[in-house]
Amino acid sequence: MRMVDIIERKRDGLELSKAAIKFCIDGYVSGKIPDYQMSSLLMAIYFKGMTDEESTHLTEAILRSGDIIDLSAIEGIKVDKHSTGGVGDKTTLVLGPLVASCGAKVAKLSGRGLGHTGGTIDKLESIEGFQTTLTNHAFMEQVNTINIAVAGQTASLAPADKLLYALRDVTGTVPSIPLIASSIMSKKLASGADVIVLDVKIGDGAFMKTLEDARTLGRLMVNIGANFGKKVIAFITDMSEPLGMAIGNKLEVLEAIRTLQGNGPDDLNKLCIEIGSYLVHHAGITETLNAARKLLEEKISSLEASAKFKEMVEAQGGIMPQLNDYIHNETLIAVKSEKSGYVSKLNALDIGLSAMRLGAGRETKDDTIDMDVGIVLNKKVADTVEQGEVLAYIYNNKKDITEEIKTILNAFTITDSFVEKPSLIIEVIE
């Protein structure tokens, strides 16, 4: 088998066999296939696409390039959730403890943030003492004991994906649905969960820009999961504006805690209840989705969900944040509206990039994050605004943020006419 023949076959729009795909992935990971040939294949896939069967074979080849976590030592059905990335997306911080408080087993491996999207591990590491590196034994023992553990992904998990993504990032082949699907699903399948809910974001602040592309990606990942005997559900959700009100690591942790206490923003609370209902129901805890929703709401109102978050933090060596003494920044700046009207648009991407430049995110993998900075929104789409009223607050440790004030101000579009609040959950694919 020759790499050049495989490249030519995909270039001509023909289907690749399981053996050919395995040959490419194994060869690239071992160093036998050079970057220039793999780049050529990735570009051919970008233009010619892949069938569902090819995408499944690619997922399996990436999956088997490294370790596959065996969670059989954890009792019961293991559940997991993955988001394709967004601005202010602290869903895992709320959803994990909430679902665990209902009795579901949450064995979650998460990543760090890069660019305008935040990472769950960064947010958890903003909690003093919180350990995100756990041995397999400690990880599984913690899930068995308190129903939840959230840890960082290890280098041995789907190493082919890391190599391929680095190459895609510099060859213009990132926005390919088969490559995105195989990247996500290889890591999720390697993580060992039985039930996986995928949150596919669309809009300005998301990777998927159109509903059609989001549907295609969601359906493909659901089908790949089914081919591996896993229950996978894909939510398509709106990311044209940030999720919740807080963007920034410590700020998002505080918002997650408030949400678990029943005082969070409506959109974040709704998304966690809906995704959580599928995880709880398919974990066999309730007979219906409605019963699962009711149970989740009861766990919030009884503060059992909040207590579970504290239990997770302390189990992983952390000190539970105090709501009134957690953020340490030099200045708090109010961005005020220059006109009255209705917020008709709030550009999530601009808000996310602004938070990153303040220090809340990384532009490159080597950047250091400032855990105390970020943005807290005071208005969102469909809200009324008076001239001089605060649109957002900037938590800042930099001397000059004149440009960021302008960016945030321009992220808000204010019109004279009332607009409807956008639908958060657009579709659910099973």
Q: What is the pTM of this model?
A: 0.92
Q: Is the pLDDT of residue 36 over 80?
A: yes
| pLDDT tens per residue across span 332-385 | 999 999 999 999 999 999 999 999 999 998 877 677 889 999 999 999 999 999
Strands in 213-340 per DSSP E: 231-238, 246-247, 331-336
Sign of torsion over alpha carbons 297, 236, 125, 334: negative
Q: Is the pLDDT of residue 116 over 70?
A: no
Which residues, 6 or more positions from 234, have their beta carbon under 8 angstroms from its beta carbon?
A: 197, 198, 200, 217, 218, 219, 221, 222, 428, 429, 430
Residue with tokens 């690591």: 249
Which residues, 6 or more positions from 369, have their beta carbon under 8 angstroms from its beta carbon?
A: 113, 122, 249, 359, 360, 361, 362
- Of 10, 78, 82, 162, catalytic: 82
Q: Is the pLDDT of residue 35 over 70?
A: yes
Domains in the chain, please, with CATH? 3-63 (1.20.970.10), 78-315 (3.40.1030.10), 331-415 (3.90.1170.30)
- Of 22, 168, 201, 230, catalytic: 168
Please provide the average confidence, as pLDDT, over all residues in the chain.
94
Listed ranges 12-16, 122-126, 185-189, 323-327; the one with the highest mean pLDDT: 12-16
Per-residue model confidence (pLDDT) at position 357? 92
| pLDDT tens per residue across span 284-329 | 999 999 999 999 999 999 999 999 999 999 999 999 998 888 888 8
Per-residue model confidence (pLDDT) at position 289? 98
* Calpha distance 130→320 (Å, rounded): 9
Clarify whether 82 is annotated catalytic.
yes
Q: Which amino acid is at 416?
A: D
- Of 40, 83, 183, 337, catalytic: 183
Per-residue model confidence (pLDDT) at position 153? 80
Per-residue model confidence (pLDDT) at position 38? 98
**Residue 205 pLDDT class (50, 70, 90 cuts):** confident
- Of 80, 89, 122, 161, catalytic: 161
The H or E element spanning position 57 is helix 52-63
Clarify whether 282 is annotated catalytic.
no
Q: What is the largest CA-CA distance in the chain?
A: 68
Q: Is the pLDDT of residue 156 over 90?
A: no
The H or E element spanning position 277 is helix 266-282
Per-residue model confidence (pLDDT) at position 240? 92
| pLDDT tens per residue across span 207-261 | 788 999 999 999 999 999 999 999 999 999 999 999 999 999 999 999 999 999 9
Q: Which amino acid is at 63?
A: L
The CB-side HSE value for 146 (13 A sphere, CA atoms) comes to 21
Percent of the chain residues past pLDDT 90, beyond the cut = 84
Clarify whether 70 is annotated catalytic.
no
Q: Is the pLDDT of residue 100 over 90?
A: yes
Per-residue model confidence (pLDDT) at position 398? 77
Tokens of 213: 């592309």
* Calpha distance 298→273 (Å, rounded): 11
Cβ atoms of residues 59 and 185 within 8 Å: yes
| pLDDT tens per residue across span 261-290 | 999 999 999 999 999 999 999 999 999 999
Q: Is the pLDDT of residue 115 over 70?
A: no
Clarify whether 55 is annotated catalytic.
no
* Calpha distance 339→318 (Å, rounded): 44
Per-residue model confidence (pLDDT) at position 368? 85
* Calpha distance 251→15 (Å, rounded): 48
Which residues, 6 or more positions from 368, have their beta carbon under 8 angstroms from its beta carbon?
A: none
Cβ atoms of residues 186 and 158 within 8 Å: yes
DSSP assignment letter at 423:
P
* Calpha distance 250→371 (Å, rounded): 6
Per-residue model confidence (pLDDT) at position 57? 98
Percent of the chain residues past pLDDT 70, beyond the cut = 99
- Of 162, 187, 201, 362, catalytic: 187
Clarify whether 328 is annotated catalytic.
no
Which residues, 6 or more positions from 298, have their beta carbon under 8 angstroms from its beta carbon?
A: none
Average pLDDT, stretch 21-43? Answer: 97
**Residue 8 pLDDT class (50, 70, 90 cuts):** very high
From the list 375, 333, 379, 327, the residue with the least C-alpha distance to 352 is 375
